Structure formats: C-alpha cells, structure tokens
Amino acid sequence: MASLRDIKSRITSTKKTKQITKAMEMVSAAKLNRAQSKATSFIPYTEKIREVVASIASGEENTITHPMLEAREEVKKTAYIVITSDRGLCGAYNSGLLRQTHKIINERHESPNEYGLIVIGKVGRDFFKKRGMPIYQEIVGLQDQPEYAEIKNIAATTIDMFTDGIFDEIYLHYNHFVSVISQKVTESKLLPLTDLAGEEEDAATQEYIYEPDPKVILEQLLPHYAESLIYGSLLDAKASEFGARMTAMQSATNNATDRIDELTLVYNRARQAAITQEINEIVGGASALE
C-alpha cells in the first residue's frame, strides 16, 4: 500500500493537471466562439460568388465554358486536400478524419501514382509521411484564426495543378462543425465544379450587368471561388478543432476531479488506519506497564 506522502503527492499533481486542463478548456471555448463567428460570416461571401458564377455559366445559351466546370473523361490522378490540426489534445478530431481518408484512398486507388495529398496541419503531415504516401504540398503553423493570405499560395498552386492537368479532380477532407460535442468527417468535391450545373435554372433568374465581359470575369472568378471553398472549409475545420479540444479538456477535467476524490478517500482511510494503529500501540503500551 502507498504511503500517506505518496498519496498526498499524487493528489497534488492531479490538482495541478486539473488546473491546466481547466485553463485549456476555457481558452478553447473562447477560441471556438471566434472561430464560429468567422466561419459563419464567411458563408454569405462564398454563396454570392457561387451565385454569380452559376449565373454566368448559365448565360448566353451556355456558350461560356471553362476547364474548371467540366468533368474529364478519364480521371488519371486525384488530389486530396486534408485539413488537420497542428497539435493534439483534441480527442478523436484528427484520428477519425485520417482513418477515414486513409480508408477511402486505399479503396479508390491501387497505386500512389493515382493520387496526391495536399496537407494542412502537422498531425496530418506526419501521419502521411510515416506511411510513405505522396504529399505534393503542405502547410503547418497556421494561426488559430487563420487569414485568407496564409493559405492563398497553397490554394492557388493546387488549383493551378488541376488546370495544368496534373490532377483531374480534387477532394476536400475535413471535420465539419455540427456542435461542440459533435464533428462530422466530411468529403466534398472541390474540382471540377460540376455541381454548379444544377443551379443554373435558379441562377438564370438573377440579372447582372457584367463589365468588361462575362467570360473574362468567369476566368478570374472561378479560381477565386475555388480558393474561397478551401478557406471556408479551413474555418469550419478550425471551429471543429476548438470544439473537440474544449470537449476533450472538459472530459479530462472531470476525470481529474473524480481521481482527486478517489485519492482523497484513500488518503483519509489510510490516515484513519494510521491513527487507529497509533492509538492501539499506545493502549497496548499502557497495558504492558500495568
């Protein structure tokens, strides 16, 4: 049985751990509120660009075409943009996403020559590097509230690789924020933007005056729209990360509280037993002197 000093030391160390996890929980809660606000405020911007792009694509008897809007006859190579965190201590946030992505890649592709990875986040980068999977681009060390400029280069380069024919389709893999305690592993198709075709009828009802020319605007707007989809997914993933970390730290704090209660009970029982033993020894000694 552990000594009273050992039990007391364990109680003290657990209390210190609880203070840390509680502080991390509160910090994550504050970051979550900011991340949610940023992600929500970015949605109308993306939706408006989507509306304009769909309107142009459906105009002039659909004579305007663009490589980013057309599915290729043969898909030789697929890119996966995977958004993870740079740090752990966020429950199953990273493991669930990476496990699902790894499973999908193994099911769809027979060779590493058939796909490439664009990884955002240190955890994801290390995961794929360890397994020898082809990483074409990576970015780590983003701010907790990332700015558009931080991912613009990697987003623009990825889109250029699509238009140059290096990749024939691009998918986004990230955790979609559902609630503080729930994040959904999500796959969405980034390129080609074939889903815009289903919105042409609604978009055609919107009237826009284009200057200088719809085709020129479309060529400029489509890459920017694809970049905004990547950035919007990153903001969504950040909100999910802070929600997962807040929940994980709350659970750790509760576990620490339970552990402290258990150790305190053990300590009190051991102390009571020690006192009882001392009393018995005193009584026994007194009886021997009679």
**Catalytic machinery residues:** 90
Name the strand (E) or helix (H) holding 173. strand 169-179
Give the neighbor-by-neighbor strand order of the sheet with 182-191: 135-139, 115-120, 78-83, 169-179, 182-191
Q: According to the 3-state scheme, what is the secondary structure of 213-242?
A: CHHHHHHHHHHHHHHHHHHHHHHHHHHHHH
For the chain, the residue count is 290
What distance in Å separates the CA atoms of residue 147 and residue 75, rounded to the nearest whole number?
33
Q: Which helix (H) or strand (E) holds 82?
A: strand 78-83
Residue type (1 letter), 93 = Y
| 3-state class (DSSP) for residue 210 | coil
Query: What does the H/E/C string look like for 92-103?
Result: CHHHHHHHHHHH
Determine whether 286 is exposed, middle or buried from the number of CB atoms within 10 Å of its CB (0-12, 13-18, 19+): exposed
